[in-house]
C-alpha cells in the first residue's frame, strides 16, 4: 500500500494514492457478506461493479494522466479530437451511474436520469474537493451516513461497506499517511451519490442533481479552497483533524 500510485500532496510530500482500496474493499466485503445472508439482488451486484469501474477509471487517470485537467479542459480537448484519460474516466463514471441507477429501483425514467446525473456529478465533485487532506471524506461521509441511516444500503449493500471503508481511510488521509487519489475520491463521491438517490423522493433527486451539477460548474470558475477560506465555519471544519499548515 505504501508504494501504490505515489504522488506529491499539497506540501510536496510523496504519498501513496491507496485509500480508495479501503473503500472498494469495504464495498466488496459487505456485499459478499450480504450475499451469504441472501440479501443481495442484481442491483446490489451492479452497484458493486459500478464501484469497481469508477475506481479503475480513476486509477487510470492517476497512473497515466494525459492532457488537461478539469472538466472544461477535458471537454475542450475532446472537441479538438483529443481523448485524454480524464475523458475516458468521465465516460466510464457516467456509464456506471446510468447502469447502477437504472437497476436500483423501478422509478420513472426522468427520475432515473436525474439520479444518474446526481451520481456522476457527485463523483466528479468529490474529486474536485480532494486537494487537501480529509476534505473529500469530511464532505462525503455525513451524506453517506445519513443515507445509510435512512435505509439506502438495504437496497444497495455495497454502500454501507463503502461507508465503512471511507471511515477507515479518514485518519490516514488527515494525518497525511496516504491519499485518496482520483480512484478513491471519485469512488467516495459515487457511493455518496448512490446513497442519496436511494433515499430521496423524486423531486429531491432532481434538486440534488441540479445542485451537484452546479457544484461542478462552480469548480471550473473558482477554487473550493478559496471559498472555504472565506468562511470561518468552513475553515474550522476543513482544518479539523489535519496536521498544522
Q: How far apart are CA 23 and CA 21, in angstroms?
A: 5
> What does the buried/exposed string (b/e) look like for 146-171 if buried means 16 or more CB atoms within 10 Å of the residue's CB?
ebbeeebbebbbbbbbbbbbbbebbe
Quick one: how far is CA 31 from the chain centroid? 18
What's residue 137's pLDDT? Answer: 97
- Encode the chain (245 residues) as per-residue pLDDT tens digits: 567 878 889 898 999 999 999 999 999 999 998 888 877 788 888 899 999 999 999 999 888 866 666 666 667 766 776 777 778 888 999 999 999 998 877 889 999 999 999 999 999 999 999 999 999 999 999 988 888 888 765 567 788 899 999 999 999 999 999 999 999 999 999 999 999 998 899 999 999 999 999 999 988 888 888 899 999 999 999 999 999 87
pTM of this structure: 0.92
What's residue 84's pLDDT? Answer: 75
What's residue 73's pLDDT? Answer: 66
What's residue 119's pLDDT? Answer: 97
Q: What are the phi and psi torsion angles at 8 (to 5°)?
A: -75, 140
**Counting beta carbons within 10 angstroms of the beta carbon of residue 41, is it exposed (0 to 12), middle (13 to 18) or buried (19 or more)?**
middle
Q: How far apart are CA 55 and CA 173, in angstroms?
A: 17
Q: How far apart are CA 173 and CA 176, in angstroms?
A: 5
Residue 169 contacts residue 22 (beta carbons within 8 Å):
yes
What's residue 37's pLDDT? Answer: 80
Quick one: how far is CA 213 from the chain centroid? 14
Q: How far apart are CA 120 and CA 70, in angstroms?
A: 15
| Count helices and strands in the chain by DSSP H and E runs | 11, 2
Q: How far apart are CA 52 and CA 123, in angstroms?
A: 13
* Closest by CA position to 205, among listed 100, 113, 95, 91: 113
First to last CA, the chain: 25
Q: What is the DSSP letter of 16?
A: E
What's residue 152's pLDDT? Answer: 60
* Closest by CA position to 102, among listed 116, 89, 90, 91: 116
Q: Grid coordinates standing for 71?
A: 472538466
Amino acid at each position: 500500500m505504501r508504494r501504490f500510485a505515489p504522488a506529491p500532496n499539497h506540501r510536496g510530500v510523496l504519498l501513496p494514492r491507496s485509500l480508495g482500496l479501503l473503500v472498494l474493499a469495504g464495498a466488496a466485503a459487505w456485499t459478499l457478506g450480504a450475499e451469504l445472508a441472501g440479501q443481495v439482488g442484481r442491483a446490489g451486484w451492479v452497484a458493486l461493479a459500478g464501484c469497481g469501474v469508477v475506481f479503475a477509471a480513476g486509477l487510470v487517470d492517476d497512473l497515466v494522466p494525459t492532457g488537461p485537467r478539469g472538466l472544461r479542459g477535458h471537454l475542450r480537448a475532446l472537441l479538438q479530437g483529443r481523448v485524454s484519460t480524464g475523458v475516458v474516466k468521465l465516460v466510464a463514471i457516467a456509464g456506471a451511474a446510468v447502469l447502477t441507477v437504472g437497476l436500483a429501483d423501478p422509478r420513472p425514467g426522468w427520475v432515473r436520469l436525474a439520479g444518474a446525473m446526481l451520481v456522476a456529478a457527485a463523483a466528479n465533485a468529490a474529486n474536485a474537493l480532494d486537494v487537501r487532506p480529509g476534505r473529500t471524506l469530511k464532505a462525503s461521509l455525513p451524506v453517506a451516513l445519513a443515507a445509510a441511516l435512512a435505509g439506502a444500503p438495504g437496497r444497495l449493500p455495497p454502500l454501507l461497506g463503502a461507508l465503512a471503508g471511507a471511515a477507515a481511510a479518514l485518519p490516514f488521509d488527515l494525518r497525511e499517511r496516504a491519499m485518496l487519489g482520483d480512484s478513491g475520491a471519485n469512488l467516495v463521491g459515487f457511493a455518496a451519490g448512490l446513497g442519496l438517490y436511494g433515499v430521496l423522493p423524486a423531486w429531491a433527486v432532481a434538486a440534488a442533481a441540479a445542485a451537484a451539477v452546479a457544484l461542478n460548474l462552480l469548480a471550473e470558475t473558482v477554487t473550493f479552497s478559496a471559498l472555504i477560506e472565506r468562511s470561518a465555519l468552513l475553515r474550522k471544519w476543513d482544518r479539523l483533524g489535519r496536521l498544522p499548515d
